Amino acid sequence: VSRDHHPESSRVRVNGVVFGSDRAPVIIAGPCAVESRDQILDVAMRVADAGARMLRGGAFKPRTSPYSFQGLGERGLELLAEARERTGLRIVTEVVAPDDVELVAGYADMLQVGARNMQNFRLLQAVGERSTAVLLKRGLMSNIDEWLGAAEYVVAAGNPRVVLCERGIRTFETATRNTLDVSSIPVLRDRSHLPVIADPSHAAGRREWVPALSRAALAAGADGLVIEVHPDPENALSDGRQSLDLEGFRDLVVELRDIAGALGRPLADRPETSEADGLARRSASR
């Protein structure tokens, strides 16, 4: 994954959506967890209208306590696929164990390896043995070299389609949930040819700071953003405090369009309906 051996920046294609340093930044939005059919379809249509290209939503949730909500499992994946059919949004969702990779890849366009699993080497191996694109989040405790080492596990196993995602590191500062290491974006740009995006929601932990961090990450050169959006954040089953509501997301995308334009990388529009339909059909037939 080092730029030493691959000087040109890679592009990673996710069924028509392209991540890469000279391309439009990709906005990924959606709730922390898929909670119900109404919730996910509502949020999918609304974020697609606002300018998102991909939908996020957890079906398998790794939680600090065994007594917290753990996700809807396969039912959640089915709902994500239905949302894709209706909106054309591509789907990224987390996979937490090697045995689940095949199941999740049957529904998702992109597999997320979460921060807590960044050094779950068996899982990295398992997603590396497929061709589905991978979103590799940075571990809370991982330095940049270890993160690139984790990406190397995926690539070495045969899958070069890796996008890195900065999501904040753990520091002594507790005002924010984690500290968004915005510097990692230019550092990775120097060291690796892989695309890098940012997740300002998990870093901030509070929705009021998400817009500023989103703008900052984009200005630092991120190839995309993952933003938590929930139709009713106060009643979310997880992470409500850091989720934008639908109006907040819409307003943010307007700001991001201006900045992306000033950076010479205008935001992508939503996919054409025909393209979305084609994708939905293809994906349904897998």
Among residues 6, 176, 232, 278, which is the contact residue for a copy of itself, using CB under 8 A?
176
Q: Least distance (Å) from a copy of itself to the CB of residue 120?
A: 5
DSSP state of 108: -
Q: Is residue 31 within 8 Å of 55, Cβ to Cβ?
A: no
DSSP 235-277: G-SS-GGG-B-HHHHHHHHHHHHHHHHHTT-PPPPPPPHHHHH
Instruction: Give whichever of 169 and 279 is closer to a copy of itself, judged by the CB atom.
Output: 169
Find where tokens 């906005």 sit. Answer: 27
Instruction: Give whichever of 18 and 216 is closer to a copy of itself, judged by the CB atom.
Output: 216
Among residues 37, 82, 216, 275, which is the contact residue for a copy of itself, using CB under 8 A?
216
Strand-pairing partners, residue 136, are 113, 164
The yes or no reply on residue 273 touching a copy of itself (CB under 8 A) is no
The yes or no reply on residue 172 touching a copy of itself (CB under 8 A) is yes
The yes or no reply on residue 3 touching a copy of itself (CB under 8 A) is no
Instruction: Give whichever of 47 and 217 is closer to a copy of itself, judged by the CB atom.
Output: 217
Task: Give the contact letters, 85-124, x = binds to a copy of itself (CB under 8 A), - = no.
Answer: -----------xxxx----------------xx-xxxx--
Q: Least distance (Å) from a copy of itself to the CB of residue 278?
A: 35
Backbone angles phi, psi at 187, to 5 degrees: -65, -45
Tokens read off for 60: 């398998």
The yes or no reply on residue 259 touching a copy of itself (CB under 8 A) is yes
DSSP 8-27: SPP-EEETTEEE-TTSPPEE
The yes or no reply on residue 220 touching a copy of itself (CB under 8 A) is yes
> For residue 24, how many other CB atoms are within 10 A of its CB?
18
Q: Least distance (Å) from a copy of itself to the CB of residue 175?
A: 5
Among residues 80, 185, 246, 253, which is the contact residue for a copy of itself, using CB under 8 A?
185
Backbone angles phi, psi at 30, to 5 degrees: 150, 175
